[in-house]
Amino acid sequence: ENIVEELALGDFVAFSYNPTDTLNEISKSPDESIEELNQIFEIIPDKKIGFFELSWSTSNFVEGDENSQKLFIAKLFDFYAQNESNIEFLTWYRYIDQQPNSCVKEEQKIGDQTITLGGGSSLGTSEHVIERLNQYNCNTGLVDIDQNYKIGWNEFKTQIQMLN
């Protein structure tokens, strides 16, 4: 019988990030978001960092738009270039937007509680927060639901080509 008494910490520490407040609305500028990503190196100074599911929504429902997504992507690649030796990997959350009705579930489980989305959602309620999370998540793609490339995709592609 083998009993694990000690766990190795591993080669890197992974973080996901989105620029939202507790209501899931975008509350930071692209510059402020990059400042927050830089703080991770202060918190974890001695390990490489993995960034997974980085995102910026283009939904105006949560205060997003295509220009801010494009700007965040440009700044994200600058951030990567400046910190490449400390970054294990970096991934973007979603390639193609999803239909709103596929992201907004009628019922959401939080812990062992089920929240049902009803007609009205007042500020600060679970329904209000879930509604914004789903709107945020559905619109983080670089391509819209009609298969049109957003300006963020053009920025992403340009930045990738400059890396090679």
**Token pair for residue 72?**
């965040």
User: Distances from the Cα of 157 to the Cαs of 74, 153, 160, in angstroms?
Assistant: 10, 6, 5
Neighbours of 8 (CB within 10 A): 5
For the stretch 58-87, pLDDT in tens is: 999 999 999 999 999 999 999 999 999 999
User: Distances from the Cα of 117 to the Cαs of 22, 89, 138, in angstroms?
Assistant: 18, 36, 17
* Average of per-residue pLDDT values in the chain: 87
Q: Supply the pTM of this predicted model.
A: 0.82
For the stretch 101-143, pLDDT in tens is: 677 565 555 666 655 555 444 555 677 888 888 899 999 999 9
**In the chain, what's the furthest Cα-to-Cα distance?**
58
Positive or negative, the CA dihedral 128, 23, 74, 71 is positive
Asked if 56 contacts 69 with a C-beta cutoff of 8 angstroms, the reply is yes
